[in-house]
Amino acid sequence: MPERTELRLTPQRGAVLEVLKAADDHPTAAEVYERVRVAAPGIGSATVYRALALLVSTGHALELSLGDGTAARYDANTSRHDHAVCERCGRAVDIDQPVPDGMVAEIARRSGFTITGYDLQFRGLCPECQSGGAGQGPGRRQ
Protein backbone atom coordinates (compact mmCIF):
# COMPACT_ATOMS: atom_id res chain seq x y z
CA MET A 1 0.00 0.00 0.00
CA PRO A 2 1.34 3.46 -0.83
CA GLU A 3 2.16 5.82 2.00
CA ARG A 4 -0.64 8.27 2.65
CA THR A 5 0.01 11.54 0.84
CA GLU A 6 -1.78 14.87 0.82
CA LEU A 7 -4.98 14.97 -1.14
CA ARG A 8 -7.07 17.98 -2.06
CA LEU A 9 -10.49 16.78 -1.03
CA THR A 10 -13.01 18.16 -3.52
CA PRO A 11 -16.70 17.71 -2.71
CA GLN A 12 -16.86 14.77 -5.14
CA ARG A 13 -13.81 13.04 -3.65
CA GLY A 14 -15.16 13.71 -0.18
CA ALA A 15 -18.47 12.09 -1.09
CA VAL A 16 -16.69 8.99 -2.43
CA LEU A 17 -14.49 8.76 0.66
CA GLU A 18 -17.51 9.12 2.97
CA VAL A 19 -19.29 6.27 1.16
CA LEU A 20 -16.21 4.07 1.64
CA LYS A 21 -15.92 4.98 5.32
CA ALA A 22 -19.59 4.15 5.90
CA ALA A 23 -19.38 0.82 4.05
CA ASP A 24 -18.67 -2.42 5.83
CA ASP A 25 -19.09 -4.58 2.74
CA HIS A 26 -16.10 -3.63 0.57
CA PRO A 27 -18.15 -2.24 -2.35
CA THR A 28 -17.22 -2.39 -6.03
CA ALA A 29 -16.76 0.85 -7.97
CA ALA A 30 -20.26 0.44 -9.41
CA GLU A 31 -21.70 0.05 -5.91
CA VAL A 32 -19.78 3.12 -4.70
CA TYR A 33 -21.20 5.07 -7.65
CA GLU A 34 -24.78 4.05 -6.81
CA ARG A 35 -24.32 5.05 -3.16
CA VAL A 36 -22.62 8.37 -3.94
CA ARG A 37 -25.48 9.32 -6.26
CA VAL A 38 -27.82 9.38 -3.25
CA ALA A 39 -25.86 12.29 -1.73
CA ALA A 40 -24.64 13.80 -5.01
CA PRO A 41 -27.20 12.99 -7.75
CA GLY A 42 -25.31 14.87 -10.47
CA ILE A 43 -22.00 13.02 -10.05
CA GLY A 44 -20.82 11.01 -13.05
CA SER A 45 -19.50 7.48 -12.97
CA ALA A 46 -16.16 8.57 -14.48
CA THR A 47 -15.72 11.05 -11.62
CA VAL A 48 -16.31 8.28 -9.08
CA TYR A 49 -13.87 5.92 -10.82
CA ARG A 50 -11.20 8.66 -10.98
CA ALA A 51 -11.77 9.54 -7.32
CA LEU A 52 -11.38 5.89 -6.31
CA ALA A 53 -8.13 5.59 -8.28
CA LEU A 54 -6.80 8.76 -6.65
CA LEU A 55 -7.85 7.67 -3.15
CA VAL A 56 -6.01 4.37 -3.68
CA SER A 57 -2.87 5.95 -5.18
CA THR A 58 -2.62 8.44 -2.31
CA GLY A 59 -3.11 5.80 0.40
CA HIS A 60 -6.58 6.91 1.52
CA ALA A 61 -8.26 3.67 0.41
CA LEU A 62 -7.38 0.11 -0.52
CA GLU A 63 -8.26 -1.66 -3.75
CA LEU A 64 -8.92 -5.32 -3.08
CA SER A 65 -8.63 -8.02 -5.70
CA LEU A 66 -10.32 -11.10 -4.33
CA GLY A 67 -8.56 -13.28 -6.89
CA ASP A 68 -11.73 -14.76 -8.33
CA GLY A 69 -12.08 -12.68 -11.47
CA THR A 70 -14.77 -10.42 -10.03
CA ALA A 71 -14.59 -6.62 -9.92
CA ALA A 72 -12.17 -4.99 -7.52
CA ARG A 73 -13.58 -3.91 -4.18
CA TYR A 74 -12.65 -0.87 -2.11
CA ASP A 75 -11.93 -0.35 1.58
CA ALA A 76 -11.37 2.88 3.53
CA ASN A 77 -9.72 0.88 6.32
CA THR A 78 -6.07 1.31 5.34
CA SER A 79 -4.64 -0.16 8.54
CA ARG A 80 -2.91 -3.55 8.31
CA HIS A 81 -5.64 -6.20 8.11
CA ASP A 82 -6.67 -9.24 6.10
CA HIS A 83 -9.97 -10.62 4.81
CA ALA A 84 -12.25 -13.64 4.91
CA VAL A 85 -14.12 -14.08 1.62
CA CYS A 86 -17.25 -16.14 1.00
CA GLU A 87 -16.81 -18.38 -2.04
CA ARG A 88 -20.54 -18.43 -2.73
CA CYS A 89 -21.82 -14.85 -2.36
CA GLY A 90 -18.54 -12.88 -2.48
CA ARG A 91 -18.96 -11.23 0.91
CA ALA A 92 -15.64 -10.02 2.35
CA VAL A 93 -15.11 -9.21 6.02
CA ASP A 94 -12.12 -7.68 7.76
CA ILE A 95 -9.87 -9.89 9.88
CA ASP A 96 -7.90 -7.84 12.38
CA GLN A 97 -5.74 -10.69 13.68
CA PRO A 98 -2.23 -9.96 12.36
CA VAL A 99 0.26 -12.62 11.38
CA PRO A 100 2.99 -12.58 14.05
CA ASP A 101 6.14 -10.69 12.98
CA GLY A 102 8.23 -13.75 13.79
CA MET A 103 6.29 -15.81 11.25
CA VAL A 104 6.79 -13.18 8.56
CA ALA A 105 10.53 -13.09 9.35
CA GLU A 106 10.70 -16.90 9.13
CA ILE A 107 8.93 -16.89 5.76
CA ALA A 108 11.42 -14.27 4.53
CA ARG A 109 14.35 -16.31 5.81
CA ARG A 110 13.16 -19.55 4.20
CA SER A 111 12.19 -17.99 0.87
CA GLY A 112 15.11 -15.59 0.56
CA PHE A 113 12.64 -12.78 -0.15
CA THR A 114 12.72 -9.37 1.44
CA ILE A 115 9.08 -9.15 2.49
CA THR A 116 7.70 -5.66 1.86
CA GLY A 117 4.04 -6.49 2.50
CA TYR A 118 1.44 -9.19 2.21
CA ASP A 119 -2.28 -9.71 1.70
CA LEU A 120 -3.89 -12.71 3.33
CA GLN A 121 -7.31 -14.01 2.33
CA PHE A 122 -9.20 -16.78 4.02
CA ARG A 123 -11.82 -18.43 1.80
CA GLY A 124 -14.90 -20.32 2.86
CA LEU A 125 -18.63 -19.85 3.37
CA CYS A 126 -20.15 -16.98 5.34
CA PRO A 127 -22.70 -17.81 8.07
CA GLU A 128 -25.67 -17.02 5.79
CA CYS A 129 -24.43 -19.30 3.01
CA GLN A 130 -23.58 -22.06 5.50
CA SER A 131 -27.17 -22.07 6.72
CA GLY A 132 -28.49 -22.34 3.18
CA GLY A 133 -29.52 -18.71 2.95
CA ALA A 134 -28.95 -16.57 -0.08
CA GLY A 135 -26.02 -14.78 1.53
CA GLN A 136 -25.97 -11.06 2.11
CA GLY A 137 -22.74 -10.22 0.38
CA PRO A 138 -22.55 -7.98 -2.65
CA GLY A 139 -21.81 -9.69 -5.92
CA ARG A 140 -23.82 -12.76 -4.95
CA ARG A 141 -22.78 -15.73 -7.08
CA GLN A 142 -24.23 -19.22 -6.98
DSSP string, 58-85: TTSSEEE--SSSSPPEEES--SS-EEEE
Can you give the residue range of the structural domain that contains 36?
6-78
Give me the CATH number covering residue 69: 1.10.10.10
Is 82 assigned a ligand-binding role in the annotation? yes
Check whether 1 has a pLDDT greater than 60: no
Give me the CATH number covering residue 95: 3.30.1490.190
Query: Which residues on adjacent β-strands are paired with residue 28?
Result: 73
Based on the fold, state whether residues 92 and 62 are members of the same structural domain: no
- Cβ–Cβ < 8 Å for 83, 93: yes
Is 89 assigned a ligand-binding role in the annotation? yes
In the chain, the number of structural domains is 2
Look at 34 and 117; give whichever has higher pLDDT: 34
Is 86 assigned a ligand-binding role in the annotation? yes
Residue pLDDT, tens place only, 58-110: 999 999 887 666 788 999 999 888 999 898 888 889 998 888 889 999 999 99
Q: What's the confidence (pLDDT) of residue 103?
A: 92
Q: Tell me whether residue 140 is in a domain.
A: no
Based on the fold, state whether residues 62 and 83 are members of the same structural domain: no
Based on the fold, state whether residues 68 and 103 are members of the same structural domain: no
CA distances to 21, 28, 120 from 84, rounded to whole Å, are 19, 16, 9
